[in-house]
Chain A
């Protein structure tokens, strides 16, 4: 059996035990909030923003910004993990749970595809956005979400790598079949579980 590889002379920087256990494999902790994107930041004025859920067999449902603000809101604190290796603990978000938004939809969809200003998309199984696992977040740290972090609103799915928490989200399509989104079509893993280090296709 091959001896495990060791990088000669590498000491590394160890986290405290409690922090180390919260870090998925290959991640490191940051205190800032890095910004990554594929292209320019879209800027949609609130009076032109809306959020739509489209399902097969259901009437599409649409909310204006004002209507969206009237929906029951939650504030949650979660750790987040980016595929580029940084993790940030205890991030606080305010938004509407997807369980609230999907109430009354009878569609037997197994998947969702989130679509966004600027053309970004990402796909998820429906069970990964229901049961208290996903939100449409419009506040970060108690203040309105900044455009470079996805404002006016972003999808928030903290249990998966953060490319699934689609910035500038404008709606969801409920689908019977999985449809790979932007990064999923460009070499990244279709599911993206940080605890299984599912960064890239084939991981």
Chain B
């Protein structure tokens, strides 16, 4: 029995970037990039990849010799038009999958993955802005895909990225963000370092709070699209503050599957 008023899968795909079926695909590791001491990017060749939207993630599946399998989700770091697919993985001490991806995997190794997944926490330049992107630690990954996409198509949408990191050395994509921001007046990147700061640091050095959001972010009257990603306490706090500051709740999107408190 057909459900009524259900869009065709083609229409759903056009609206959301969702494919009708996600099969497991083989990927080959082309390059490994140590972003920070605990974070590595995996640049992948995925011949059968059908594209994605900035903000989406994919599932990785590992299989041991005896058939034991483990699956985890990782945000896609690369822009949709990139020739390679990149994920950025934080190594968790008590993780099962992340230590393998960041420690054992070599160039030339293969991975199984499927995606893209997620039709909500996504942004395409034609959706406009301005954008307020708020990241905690490795929550910056899906937001970086948005920034890379914006740069790739030279979108004029103004963006403010507020990134919280524990220390200067742990800022993911720091140099690349510096380059994008230096070249584009409409991209503003603000860092806050919560645990330690280098000598002479002039920037914020505390957890994101209401005052910081007010100083850094767009006003509600500017109707920003807000994307918040990171550990649960940060996302909970920032999303609540955005609503308290007057941003419409439906314009605040949150993603917290990354470091959610469980071992990965």
- Assess whether B6 is interfacial by the CB under 8 Å rule: yes
Residues in B whose Cβ lies below 8 Å from that of A132: none
Interface code B225-253, partner A: CB below 8 Å = 1, 0 otherwise? 00000001000100110110000011011
Residues in B whose Cβ lies below 8 Å from that of A183: 120
Residues in A whose Cβ lies below 8 Å from that of B4: 177
CB contact between A186 and one of B68, B105, B119 (< 8 Å): that residue = B119
How many Å lie between the Cα of A118 and that of B120 in the bound state? 14
Residues in B whose Cβ lies below 8 Å from that of A4: 63, 67
CB contact between A26 and one of B9, B69, B117 (< 8 Å): that residue = B69
Whether A35 lies near B64 (C-beta < 8 A) is no
Given contacts A9-B100, A10-B104, A187-B118, whether A40 and B254 have CB atoms under 8 Å apart is: yes
How many Å lie between the Cα of A32 and that of B259 in the bound state? 12
CB contact between B64 and one of A7, A33, A36, A38 (< 8 Å): that residue = A7
Whether A30 lies near B261 (C-beta < 8 A) is yes
How many Å lie between the Cα of A26 and that of B250 in the bound state? 32
The interface-forming segment of B36-44, B107-115, B146-154, B208-216 is B107-115
Whether A38 lies near B110 (C-beta < 8 A) is no
Q: How many residues of A contact B (CB 8 A)?
A: 45
* Interface residue ranges of B1-41 to A (CB < 8 Å): 3-4, 6, 9, 12, 16, 18-22, 26
* Interface residue ranges of B43-64 to A (CB < 8 Å): 61-64
Interface code A172-203, partner B: CB below 8 Å = 1, 0 otherwise? 00000111100101110000000000001111
Interface residues of A (CB under 8 A from B): 4-14, 25-26, 28, 30-42, 84-86, 118-119, 148, 177-180, 183, 185-187, 200-203
24 sampled A-B residue pairs with Cβ under 8 A? A6-B65, A7-B64, A7-B100, A10-B70, A12-B64, A12-B69, A12-B96, A13-B70, A13-B96, A28-B72, A28-B96, A30-B261, A31-B262, A36-B256, A37-B254, A39-B250, A40-B240, A40-B254, A41-B239, A179-B3, A186-B120, A200-B117, A201-B9, A201-B12
Interface residues of B (CB under 8 A from A): 3-4, 6, 9, 12, 16, 18-22, 26, 61-65, 67-73, 96, 100, 104-105, 109-112, 117-121, 232, 236, 239-240, 242-243, 249-250, 252-254, 256-257, 260-264
The 5 closest A-B pairs by CB, nearest first: A202-B21, A186-B119, A187-B18, A30-B262, A34-B260
